[in-house]
Amino acid sequence: MTSLIVNQKFHSVGNGTFKSGSVVRQDTREAFLWVYDCGSTSMTTLNRVLGAITRRGWPESIDMLVLSHFDDDHVNGVEEILRYCRVKTLVLPFSEWTQTVREISVMGKKGTSPSTALMQLNPVKWLASRNFDARVEEIVLIQGGSDSSPVPYGDDAPEPEPRDFQRDDDVRRFSQNYFSFGSAMSGTSRIRILRHGRSIQALNRDFEFVFYNAEKDFAALGLIEQRSGQWYAKHSGSLLSDVKTDIQSTIMSINLHQPLSTMPAGWRKTLKNCYENHFGHSGKAKNNISLCMYSAPIRATPCQFHVRDYHRVILHAKKPTVRLATLCTGDIRLTSSVISDIQNHLGTQRWDRIGLVQVPHHGSQHSWEPGNAGLLAPAQFVHCASGTKHHPHPLVQADLSSSVVHTADRKQSVYVRYRL
């Protein structure tokens, strides 16, 4: 039987998220390396962490780089990774162009920088603008949507190889949903759109990753309507294709399609005004965008599950356990209904194997409900937070008071290790 060695690390970036992981087959030494988010509210802290990795030496390539969403404190270290590493698969949340424009225009200076905005508007163009397109083999956009049944477990057909995808269809859908800015949408990186009802499998199907995208489309939010087979913005009454053209012209007028070192004053307000002219107040389209990721071995073999920070090593149980899965949540607003939806999405077999959950949004009270700890028990938890007044928030800490909780702050990392 193949033995797997799994190591994961929540790096010491404070408020932000930077998690790296590896799974190695002991018989062949074949490895799969991944990263989930790479950012921090403190560039000094992030540069220190990234600098230490650079001195030790980056791997030549990373198999999968996942970005949960596009706030700078989750992505502002990505360019540094791409300078040193090739990425086989860049995983991003699929978001409608209407929602993308809203997110960019309302998040403010602490949310999305001009560079990150371009990454959202057209990731292919963003890669090319930074000469990174040859360093990313494929872009996978994870699309959400309601599922009638849980993601198939274990014996579902493996994901096809990248060369087997019907690329033309994915490029067409990409072109319809992203902004072209008057140039060809093609690039060196392949594009595919994957519904979150499919898993991504690694090492000959020994290990799997399952994603969850909670975004609701604009039709479900009641901001667009269909008339005579065509879609219109309810607020302005304009044909949706004309709205997209108008917004693209606005984006190009403020040079957001090729961010300058100094952007025009009030560029976010200009974009927001254009958005609200067509869709009304931006608060109506508030969405729950943050790509969650479940990762675990496919076979349920009991073993010791070690979680360690600077001060201690905690065994998940005194005896071997099958609760080896980690659930990363980014900044999702984790309500009881969202937890129920994720549970249904993953299915009972996976849900009962979760051993460690990332507390979303650095322990913010706005992303957590009292009682969540009980719904997620008996999992352990990890904060990616600086330990300030509100991160993690006292109300969140109180709900987790009976749980085992670790904190990856600006001084210490949290490590996960098991072998089966």
Helix (H) or strand (E) holding 123: helix 123-129
CA triple 38-339-347, angle to 5 deg: 95
Helix (H) or strand (E) holding 61: strand 61-66
Whether the Cβ atoms of residue 332 and residue 338 lie closer than 8 Å to each other: yes
Q: In what order do the strands lie in the sheet with 190-195?
A: 190-195, 136-143, 86-93, 61-66, 31-40, 16-25, 4-10, 414-419, 305-308, 313-315
Helix (H) or strand (E) holding 279: helix 267-279
pTM more than 0.85: yes
Specify the pLDDT at position 165: 47
Tell me the two tokens of residue 309: 């920070």
Indicate the residue type of 418: Y
Specify the pLDDT at position 47: 96
CA atoms lying within 13 Å on the CB side of residue 87: 28
Whether the Cβ atoms of residue 219 and residue 141 lie closer than 8 Å to each other: no
Determine the length of the chain.
420
β-pairing, 136-143 vs 190-195, is: parallel
From CA 46, how far away is CA 384, in angstroms rounded? 13
Tell me the two tokens of residue 225: 């309507």
What is the mean pLDDT, run by run of 10 residues, along the chain of 420 residues? 87 97 93 97 96 95 97 94 96 94 80 88 92 93 82 62 57 89 72 92 94 91 93 96 96 89 87 95 85 95 87 62 96 96 95 97 96 97 91 96 95 94
Task: Kindly give, in sequence order, each residue whose CB lies less than 8 Å from that of residue 55, ignoring residues fewer than 6 positions away.
Answer: none
From CA 247, how far away is CA 398, in angstroms rounded? 45
Whether the Cβ atoms of residue 230 and residue 60 lie closer than 8 Å to each other: no
Task: Kindly give, in sequence order, each residue whose CB lies less than 8 Å from that of residue 193, ignoring residues fewer than 6 positions away.
Answer: 94, 140, 141, 143, 170, 173, 174
> What is the phi/psi pair of residue 71, to 5°?
-75, 145
Query: Where do the DSSP E strands lie in 196-243?
Result: 200-202, 207-212, 224-227, 230-233
Which residue(s) pair with 19 in the sheet?
Answer: 10, 36
Specify the pLDDT at position 111: 65
- Residue 304: count of CB within 10 angstroms of its CB: 16
Tell me the two tokens of residue 299: 């076979």
| Backbone torsion region of residue 309, taken as left when φ is above 0, otherwise alpha when ψ lies between -120 and 50, otherwise beta | beta
Q: What are the residue ranges of helices labelled H in 314-361? A: 336-346, 348-351
Tell me the two tokens of residue 67: 């970005």
Specify the pLDDT at position 384: 97
